[in-house]
Structure 1
């Protein structure tokens, strides 16, 4: 039987076409265990309280971790802090969500009601009935006569916003010294090293078309310092080697590359994401966050996307042993533009 024939049969009754379907009405109400057994209702109430308590503990744990964890900028320390704070937030949100669902399914009224459509502005009598219905609904939820449950939900909902507000307030009061972006760890004659191994790179190891993720070759004590992560984040570089005939270099930058090897900051000039997707055939460098695209063969100029200026170039050369080294720091601040700059 076709769909059209099924539809025709459904709209006919006794050989006559129907202009509307018969209202099947509301199915018979099925009572829940908590409706029939006071002990079951009490158990459900305690389960909801426990879930709200988990949320309270999660929020308090997150706040304690945020303020009490020792400052450790090593990768392991950052991962551990993020894990503990993230777990606190997870339990805070999960506790509230599960408690609300369990409360609604086991304790709140589950009777279905039908409201006929009416004008948008109800009469005063209907509005009074609506207020009465809300009052009865609040009574149905049992929160007024369940003191422990009321205390748990109020405490959980009151504490949870702190898990979001406290880190935001702490961030507002953080370090706003943007002048630090004017300089990085790069210094004259500092070797270019592979990220993350830290092995210095020789020019002969860089073949045409290859791309290297580069960091400064700094002493071991610098790598073990608390400032290393933030300083490394500013100094990261992507280095590629092109056929020298493909390079379009400004007259004042012709000595910034070495035999087709060029190095540019990996920090996108849009919002600071790491630019690391290199397309060998087009010489294009793509930022994965917002698709800003830079032409490595032409001074890393923007060819697509929201970025407004080229990637800063790191002037490089080689030392007496054939290792690639920086001629100087970047000649302009790395990363996104900010209010103290013209662009």
Structure 2
């Protein structure tokens, strides 16, 4: 195609030839003449190099300050509701009003962030002048002239932002941000205190003492969920695993402490082939023909170590893949756990599997203070 034909094709008039309307290549887009925001709108940006209208700026400043004050109020309300509500109706861990708590706490925090974001957005759009900035490529080492230029540009930018000459905005912004910085510290309260020495014993110890006071060898193991006492004959097949608890825990423990005591005492009972079992020194009589009991609470971060692989005899915690060898005192063979699962001493009485004492070491994660 000749240059003349190219020029002709490139300068086709809009609508010519019945085709779609076009424009001459290289000409400005007509969209530049259209604006999405009205010039008198509060969120419309100032023009490039354009001086701010002080009356409009004052109005925008008041609106921004209002949003910052709203953010501050919502943050304070979040903290007040959290502290006030958690002190009644059973605390933050109650089930009945958890939904109400989530609605209020989530709504107040969302309102705080939205108000803060809206205020900052209007500040940038209406109170900062838009000036083109050209970044030059040069050596990393700056000379005195460059440092002076940077200082001058920084001070000029601070002045253009209005942060230095508009104290109302500066103060309300700091006021709105302060509670947001304190909120995470308040939430740490919900993590609760360290268990300290409370994990050094479980209900197994109390139950064994009560049983021995009645002339028994120990407390019977019951199946979790059915509370059925477990006979040796009920658990005679190698490769099985079941979750057990001490008998009588729900009858003798106050109702508000049952869940806590269950969580501490929960135990896994595993039938390992006796010829593959390697009892630890001093624990030769802690198993019943390969039937062994370990704490179900993983020693990494406390997740339930509830998976058992029959061919390898490995106990697996699904949270972080800590793996324990059931044939060798539940020693760690893989994963982040730092110590074995505590073992529960077992015996047989009248055909039932019984525990003869509490765990001899604290259950639970190693990072907890265990006294």
TM surpasses 0.5: yes
230-239 or 63-72, larger mean C-alpha shift? 63-72
Deviation at 1:250, TM superposition (A): 3.2
Match of 1:312 in 2: 342
Structure 2 unpaired stretches of 5+? 1-25, 43-55, 209-217
Structure 1 unpaired stretches of 5+? 1-21
Equivalent positions of 1:280-291 (< 5 A) are 280-291=310-321
Looking at structure 1, the residues matched to 64 and 315 of structure 2 have their Cα atoms a distance apart, in angstroms, of: 58
Instruction: Confirm or deny: 8 A CA contact 2:264 2:363 kept in the other structure.
Output: yes
Looking at structure 2, the residues matched to 166 and 294 of structure 1 have their Cα atoms a distance apart, in angstroms, of: 37
Matching residue within 32, 45, 63 for 2:37: 32
**Secondary structure at 1:253 match in 2:** coil
Deviation at 1:160, TM superposition (A): 3.6
Instruction: Confirm or deny: 8 A CA contact 2:68 2:175 kept in the other structure.
Output: no
Which of these two proteins has the greater Rg computed from alpha carbons? Answer: 2
- CA deviations 1:284-327 (Å, max 9, x no partner) are 1122333321100111111122333321111122331x332212
Looking at structure 1, the residues matched to 181 and 102 of structure 2 have their Cα atoms a distance apart, in angstroms, of: 15
CA distance 1:155–1:80, shift in 2 (3 Å)? farther
Looking at structure 1, the residues matched to 297 and 369 of structure 2 have their Cα atoms a distance apart, in angstroms, of: 18
Deviation at 1:33, TM superposition (A): 5.1
Looking at structure 2, the residues matched to 33 and 135 of structure 1 have their Cα atoms a distance apart, in angstroms, of: 23
Deviation at 1:129, TM superposition (A): 2.0
Match of 2:185 in 1: 165
**Secondary structure at 2:116 match in 1:** helix
CA distance 1:177–1:50, shift in 2 (3 Å)? closer
Match of 2:230 in 1: 201
* TM-score (structure 1 length as normaliser): 0.70
CA distance 1:136–1:253, shift in 2 (3 Å)? closer
**Secondary structure at 2:268 match in 1:** strand
* TM-score (structure 2 length as normaliser): 0.66
Match of 1:325 in 2: 354
Instruction: Confirm or deny: 8 A CA contact 2:69 2:176 kept in the other structure.
Output: no
Looking at structure 2, the residues matched to 230 and 130 of structure 1 have their Cα atoms a distance apart, in angstroms, of: 58
Instruction: Note if 1:279 corresponds to 2:309.
Output: yes
Looking at structure 2, the residues matched to 202 and 114 of structure 1 have their Cα atoms a distance apart, in angstroms, of: 83
Instruction: Note if 1:100 corresponds to 2:130.
Output: no
CA distance 1:262–1:160, shift in 2 (3 Å)? same
Instruction: Confirm or deny: 8 A CA contact 2:346 2:355 kept in the other structure.
Output: yes
Instruction: Note if 1:264 corresponds to 2:294.
Output: yes
Instruction: Note if 1:296 corresponds to 2:345.
Output: no
Instruction: Confirm or deny: 8 A CA contact 2:203 2:249 kept in the other structure.
Output: no
Task: Give the aligned length.
Answer: 305
**Secondary structure at 2:292 match in 1:** strand
CA distance 1:237–1:176, shift in 2 (3 Å)? closer
